[in-house]
Amino acid sequence: MPDLIVPIVTAFEKGTVSTSKMRKHADYILKKGVDYIFLNGSTGLGPSISYNERISILHAFEDISDKIIVQVGSLNLDETLSLAQEAARMKVHAIASLSPYFYPRIPEEWLLRYFKTISEIYPTLIYNFPLTTGYDLTASFVEKALSAGSDIIGIKDTVQDITHMLQIKWATDEEFKVYCGPDPMAMSALRSGMDGVVGGSGNYVPVILRTLVNHFNDKIGEKAQKLVQSIASVARKYGQWSANYTLVEIIHSYSPGEPRPPIYPLDEVTKKSMSEDVNKVLPGGDRI
Protein backbone atom coordinates (compact mmCIF):
# COMPACT_ATOMS: atom_id res chain seq x y z
CA MET A 1 0.00 0.00 0.00
CA PRO A 2 1.38 3.46 -0.86
CA ASP A 3 2.34 5.73 2.03
CA LEU A 4 0.17 8.65 3.10
CA ILE A 5 2.31 11.41 4.59
CA VAL A 6 0.78 14.64 5.81
CA PRO A 7 2.84 17.82 6.23
CA ILE A 8 0.98 19.26 9.18
CA VAL A 9 0.43 22.92 9.88
CA THR A 10 2.52 24.40 12.66
CA ALA A 11 0.24 25.68 15.40
CA PHE A 12 0.92 29.22 16.57
CA GLU A 13 -0.85 31.19 19.30
CA LYS A 14 -0.09 34.91 19.14
CA GLY A 15 3.09 34.13 17.25
CA THR A 16 4.33 31.43 19.64
CA VAL A 17 4.49 27.75 18.72
CA SER A 18 1.88 25.62 20.49
CA THR A 19 3.21 22.07 20.58
CA SER A 20 0.12 20.89 22.48
CA LYS A 21 -2.16 21.96 19.62
CA MET A 22 0.21 20.38 17.10
CA ARG A 23 0.07 17.06 18.94
CA LYS A 24 -3.72 17.17 19.21
CA HIS A 25 -3.95 17.76 15.47
CA ALA A 26 -1.35 15.12 14.59
CA ASP A 27 -2.93 12.50 16.86
CA TYR A 28 -6.33 13.17 15.31
CA ILE A 29 -5.24 12.68 11.71
CA LEU A 30 -3.09 9.65 12.58
CA LYS A 31 -6.25 8.00 13.90
CA LYS A 32 -7.88 8.78 10.53
CA GLY A 33 -5.37 6.62 8.67
CA VAL A 34 -2.35 8.83 8.04
CA ASP A 35 0.93 6.88 8.02
CA TYR A 36 3.49 9.58 8.77
CA ILE A 37 3.54 13.17 10.00
CA PHE A 38 5.89 15.54 8.16
CA LEU A 39 7.14 18.36 10.42
CA ASN A 40 8.45 21.79 9.41
CA GLY A 41 7.48 21.54 5.75
CA SER A 42 6.15 24.30 3.55
CA THR A 43 2.57 23.70 4.72
CA GLY A 44 3.91 24.07 8.26
CA LEU A 45 5.61 27.38 7.39
CA GLY A 46 8.91 25.61 8.08
CA PRO A 47 11.34 28.26 6.80
CA SER A 48 9.92 30.78 9.29
CA ILE A 49 10.50 28.54 12.31
CA SER A 50 13.63 29.10 14.41
CA TYR A 51 16.07 26.36 15.36
CA ASN A 52 14.93 26.31 18.99
CA GLU A 53 11.29 26.12 17.89
CA ARG A 54 12.10 23.20 15.62
CA ILE A 55 13.77 21.38 18.48
CA SER A 56 10.76 21.94 20.75
CA ILE A 57 8.42 20.69 18.01
CA LEU A 58 10.54 17.60 17.45
CA HIS A 59 10.62 16.80 21.17
CA ALA A 60 6.82 17.03 21.34
CA PHE A 61 6.67 13.97 19.07
CA GLU A 62 9.37 11.86 20.74
CA ASP A 63 6.93 9.18 21.91
CA ILE A 64 5.77 8.57 18.31
CA SER A 65 9.10 9.21 16.60
CA ASP A 66 8.65 6.24 14.26
CA LYS A 67 5.71 8.13 12.72
CA ILE A 68 7.72 11.30 12.13
CA ILE A 69 9.58 12.73 9.15
CA VAL A 70 11.22 16.03 10.02
CA GLN A 71 12.36 18.66 7.55
CA VAL A 72 15.77 19.85 8.80
CA GLY A 73 16.97 22.00 5.89
CA SER A 74 17.83 25.65 6.51
CA LEU A 75 20.30 28.32 5.46
CA ASN A 76 22.50 27.51 8.48
CA LEU A 77 24.13 24.14 7.93
CA ASP A 78 25.36 23.82 11.52
CA GLU A 79 21.80 24.18 12.80
CA THR A 80 20.56 21.77 10.12
CA LEU A 81 23.08 19.14 11.18
CA SER A 82 22.32 19.66 14.87
CA LEU A 83 18.60 19.15 14.21
CA ALA A 84 19.41 16.06 12.13
CA GLN A 85 21.48 14.66 14.99
CA GLU A 86 18.61 15.16 17.44
CA ALA A 87 16.23 13.47 14.99
CA ALA A 88 18.69 10.58 14.69
CA ARG A 89 18.86 10.27 18.48
CA MET A 90 15.08 10.03 18.54
CA LYS A 91 15.11 7.45 15.72
CA VAL A 92 12.51 9.21 13.60
CA HIS A 93 11.26 7.49 10.46
CA ALA A 94 13.41 9.77 8.28
CA ILE A 95 14.67 13.30 7.91
CA ALA A 96 14.09 15.50 4.88
CA SER A 97 15.75 18.61 3.53
CA LEU A 98 14.94 21.46 1.22
CA SER A 99 17.65 22.93 -0.97
CA PRO A 100 19.31 26.12 0.38
CA TYR A 101 16.50 28.22 -1.08
CA PHE A 102 17.97 31.70 -0.71
CA TYR A 103 20.99 30.76 -2.86
CA PRO A 104 19.54 29.34 -6.08
CA ARG A 105 22.68 29.53 -8.21
CA ILE A 106 25.33 27.70 -6.22
CA PRO A 107 27.36 25.07 -8.14
CA GLU A 108 25.81 21.62 -8.37
CA GLU A 109 28.90 20.22 -6.69
CA TRP A 110 28.11 22.25 -3.56
CA LEU A 111 24.47 21.18 -3.61
CA LEU A 112 25.50 17.53 -3.82
CA ARG A 113 27.89 18.09 -0.93
CA TYR A 114 25.09 19.73 1.08
CA PHE A 115 22.78 16.71 0.79
CA LYS A 116 25.60 14.22 1.33
CA THR A 117 26.65 15.98 4.54
CA ILE A 118 23.09 15.88 5.89
CA SER A 119 22.45 12.28 4.88
CA GLU A 120 25.64 11.11 6.60
CA ILE A 121 23.82 11.75 9.87
CA TYR A 122 20.54 9.99 9.05
CA PRO A 123 18.65 8.55 6.03
CA THR A 124 17.33 11.53 4.12
CA LEU A 125 14.50 12.41 1.76
CA ILE A 126 15.20 15.15 -0.75
CA TYR A 127 12.44 17.74 -0.66
CA ASN A 128 12.24 19.04 -4.22
CA PHE A 129 10.11 22.18 -4.50
CA PRO A 130 11.44 24.29 -7.42
CA LEU A 131 8.79 26.99 -7.03
CA THR A 132 10.08 27.98 -3.59
CA THR A 133 13.75 26.96 -3.67
CA GLY A 134 14.87 27.92 -7.17
CA TYR A 135 16.28 24.41 -7.68
CA ASP A 136 14.81 21.59 -9.73
CA LEU A 137 16.44 18.40 -8.52
CA THR A 138 16.11 15.98 -11.43
CA ALA A 139 16.76 12.28 -11.93
CA SER A 140 20.30 13.17 -13.02
CA PHE A 141 20.92 14.99 -9.72
CA VAL A 142 19.54 12.07 -7.71
CA GLU A 143 21.78 9.63 -9.58
CA LYS A 144 24.84 11.80 -8.88
CA ALA A 145 23.91 12.08 -5.19
CA LEU A 146 23.57 8.31 -4.86
CA SER A 147 26.80 7.71 -6.78
CA ALA A 148 28.59 10.08 -4.39
CA GLY A 149 27.59 7.86 -1.48
CA SER A 150 24.74 9.95 -0.08
CA ASP A 151 22.25 8.08 2.10
CA ILE A 152 19.32 9.48 0.14
CA ILE A 153 16.36 7.13 0.53
CA GLY A 154 13.71 9.01 -1.43
CA ILE A 155 12.32 12.27 -2.68
CA LYS A 156 9.22 14.37 -2.21
CA ASP A 157 8.76 15.70 -5.72
CA THR A 158 6.60 18.82 -5.66
CA VAL A 159 6.35 19.44 -9.39
CA GLN A 160 3.43 19.57 -11.82
CA ASP A 161 4.95 16.86 -14.04
CA ILE A 162 4.42 13.12 -13.76
CA THR A 163 7.28 12.53 -16.21
CA HIS A 164 9.65 14.26 -13.78
CA MET A 165 8.64 11.79 -11.06
CA LEU A 166 8.82 8.83 -13.43
CA GLN A 167 12.35 9.67 -14.55
CA ILE A 168 13.49 9.59 -10.92
CA LYS A 169 11.63 6.33 -10.38
CA TRP A 170 13.26 4.74 -13.41
CA ALA A 171 16.72 5.97 -12.39
CA THR A 172 16.61 4.43 -8.89
CA ASP A 173 16.12 0.99 -7.37
CA GLU A 174 12.98 -0.45 -5.77
CA GLU A 175 13.99 0.71 -2.29
CA PHE A 176 14.12 4.37 -3.30
CA LYS A 177 10.84 6.14 -2.51
CA VAL A 178 9.35 8.69 -4.89
CA TYR A 179 6.52 10.62 -3.29
CA CYS A 180 4.09 12.91 -5.10
CA GLY A 181 3.89 16.42 -3.66
CA PRO A 182 0.96 18.14 -5.41
CA ASP A 183 -2.36 16.82 -4.08
CA PRO A 184 -4.22 17.25 -7.42
CA MET A 185 -1.75 14.84 -9.04
CA ALA A 186 -1.97 12.13 -6.39
CA MET A 187 -4.11 9.61 -8.27
CA SER A 188 -2.15 9.96 -11.52
CA ALA A 189 1.16 9.64 -9.67
CA LEU A 190 0.06 6.51 -7.80
CA ARG A 191 -1.24 4.94 -11.00
CA SER A 192 2.16 5.66 -12.53
CA GLY A 193 3.92 3.71 -9.78
CA MET A 194 4.91 6.34 -7.22
CA ASP A 195 5.35 5.16 -3.65
CA GLY A 196 2.97 7.50 -1.90
CA VAL A 197 1.66 11.00 -1.40
CA VAL A 198 2.81 13.91 0.76
CA GLY A 199 -0.50 15.75 0.85
CA GLY A 200 -1.25 19.00 2.63
CA SER A 201 -4.98 18.37 2.21
CA GLY A 202 -4.55 15.56 4.73
CA ASN A 203 -4.70 18.29 7.37
CA TYR A 204 -8.39 18.85 6.70
CA VAL A 205 -9.63 15.83 4.66
CA PRO A 206 -7.45 12.94 5.94
CA VAL A 207 -10.20 10.36 5.42
CA ILE A 208 -10.82 11.39 1.82
CA LEU A 209 -7.08 11.45 1.08
CA ARG A 210 -6.66 8.03 2.73
CA THR A 211 -9.49 6.71 0.55
CA LEU A 212 -7.77 8.11 -2.54
CA VAL A 213 -4.51 6.35 -1.64
CA ASN A 214 -6.27 3.07 -0.89
CA HIS A 215 -8.40 3.14 -4.05
CA PHE A 216 -6.24 4.99 -6.58
CA ASN A 217 -7.00 2.39 -9.25
CA ASP A 218 -10.79 2.41 -9.05
CA LYS A 219 -13.85 4.64 -9.19
CA ILE A 220 -13.85 5.29 -5.45
CA GLY A 221 -10.37 6.74 -5.78
CA GLU A 222 -11.48 8.90 -8.69
CA LYS A 223 -14.29 10.35 -6.60
CA ALA A 224 -11.87 11.01 -3.75
CA GLN A 225 -9.43 12.76 -6.10
CA LYS A 226 -12.22 15.03 -7.40
CA LEU A 227 -13.13 15.96 -3.83
CA VAL A 228 -9.49 16.68 -2.96
CA GLN A 229 -9.19 18.94 -5.99
CA SER A 230 -12.44 20.72 -5.14
CA ILE A 231 -11.47 21.47 -1.56
CA ALA A 232 -7.93 22.44 -2.63
CA SER A 233 -9.50 25.00 -4.96
CA VAL A 234 -11.32 26.49 -1.99
CA ALA A 235 -8.03 26.72 -0.10
CA ARG A 236 -6.33 28.51 -2.99
CA LYS A 237 -9.25 30.94 -3.33
CA TYR A 238 -8.76 32.22 0.21
CA GLY A 239 -4.97 32.04 0.41
CA GLN A 240 -3.74 28.50 0.92
CA TRP A 241 -1.28 29.04 3.78
CA SER A 242 -3.90 30.59 6.04
CA ALA A 243 -6.78 28.57 4.63
CA ASN A 244 -5.16 25.30 5.75
CA TYR A 245 -5.78 26.25 9.37
CA THR A 246 -9.33 27.47 8.85
CA LEU A 247 -10.33 24.39 6.86
CA VAL A 248 -9.41 22.14 9.80
CA GLU A 249 -11.59 24.28 12.05
CA ILE A 250 -14.53 24.28 9.64
CA ILE A 251 -14.49 20.57 8.76
CA HIS A 252 -13.39 19.04 12.08
CA SER A 253 -14.56 21.60 14.65
CA TYR A 254 -11.30 22.17 16.49
CA SER A 255 -8.55 24.75 16.13
CA PRO A 256 -5.11 23.63 14.92
CA GLY A 257 -3.76 27.04 15.93
CA GLU A 258 -3.18 29.91 13.55
CA PRO A 259 -0.40 30.94 11.16
CA ARG A 260 2.30 33.41 12.11
CA PRO A 261 2.89 36.68 10.23
CA PRO A 262 3.78 37.45 7.51
CA ILE A 263 1.10 34.78 6.93
CA TYR A 264 -1.96 36.28 8.62
CA PRO A 265 -5.06 34.48 9.94
CA LEU A 266 -8.29 34.89 7.99
CA ASP A 267 -10.81 37.33 9.42
CA GLU A 268 -14.28 36.24 10.57
CA VAL A 269 -16.06 37.51 7.46
CA THR A 270 -13.68 35.55 5.21
CA LYS A 271 -14.03 32.46 7.38
CA LYS A 272 -17.82 32.61 7.04
CA SER A 273 -17.56 32.87 3.25
CA MET A 274 -15.12 29.96 3.18
CA SER A 275 -17.44 27.86 5.32
CA GLU A 276 -20.22 28.38 2.79
CA ASP A 277 -17.93 27.27 -0.04
CA VAL A 278 -16.80 24.21 1.93
CA ASN A 279 -20.42 23.15 2.48
CA LYS A 280 -21.02 23.33 -1.25
CA VAL A 281 -18.12 21.04 -2.21
CA LEU A 282 -18.16 18.81 0.89
CA PRO A 283 -21.76 18.62 2.11
CA GLY A 284 -20.95 15.32 3.81
CA GLY A 285 -17.75 16.52 5.46
CA ASP A 286 -14.56 14.45 5.42
CA ARG A 287 -15.97 11.28 3.89
CA ILE A 288 -16.82 9.74 0.54
| Mean pLDDT in consecutive groups of 10 residues from the start of the chain, 288 residues | 97 96 98 98 94 98 98 96 98 97 93 98 98 95 97 97 97 97 97 98 98 98 97 94 97 97 96 97 92
Distance from C-alpha of 198 to C-alpha of 129, rounded to nearest angstrom:
12
Distance from C-alpha of 232 to C-alpha of 177, rounded to nearest angstrom:
25
Closest CA to 29 of 264, 247, 189, 238: 247
CATH number at residue 153: 3.20.20.70
Q: Provide the 3-class DSSP secondary structure of residue 35.
A: coil
**DSSP letter, residue 252:** H
Q: Is residue 132 part of a domain?
A: yes
How many of the other CB atoms lie within 10 Å of CB of 175? 8
Q: Is residue 258 part of a domain?
A: no
Q: Is residue 68 part of a domain?
A: yes
Q: What is the pLDDT of residue 104?
A: 87
Do 84 and 121 form a contact (C-beta atoms < 8 A)?
yes
Do 98 and 106 form a contact (C-beta atoms < 8 A)?
no
**DSSP letter, residue 134:** S
Which residue segment(s) compose the domain that 198 sits in?
3-216
Q: Is residue 286 part of a domain?
A: no
Q: 22-29: which pairs have CB atoms within 8 A and are 24 or more residues apart?
A: 22/57, 22/60, 22/256, 22/257, 23/60, 23/61, 24/254, 24/256, 25/203, 25/248, 25/254, 25/256, 25/257, 26/61, 26/64, 28/252, 28/254, 29/202, 29/203, 29/206
Question: Residue 265: is it exposed, middle or buried by C-beta count within 10 angstroms (0-12/13-18/19+)?
Answer: middle
Q: Is residue 21 part of a domain?
A: yes
Q: Is residue 265 part of a domain?
A: no
Q: Which residues pair with 177 in a beta bridge?
A: 154
Distance from C-alpha of 35 to C-alpha of 195, rounded to nearest angstrom:
13
Q: Is residue 235 part of a domain?
A: no
Neighbouring residues of 164: CB distance < 8 A, sequence distance ≥ 6: 138, 139, 157
Q: What is the pLDDT of residue 288?
A: 87
Active site residues: 156
Distance from C-alpha of 125 to C-alpha of 20, rounded to nearest angstrom:
27
Q: Provide the 3-class DSSP secondary structure of residue 206.
A: helix
- Total domain count, the chain: 1
Strands (E), the chain: 3-7, 12-13, 16-17, 36-39, 68-71, 94-97, 124-128, 152-157, 177-180, 196-198
How many of the other CB atoms lie within 10 Å of CB of 6? 29
**DSSP letter, residue 146:** H
Q: Is residue 112 part of a domain?
A: yes
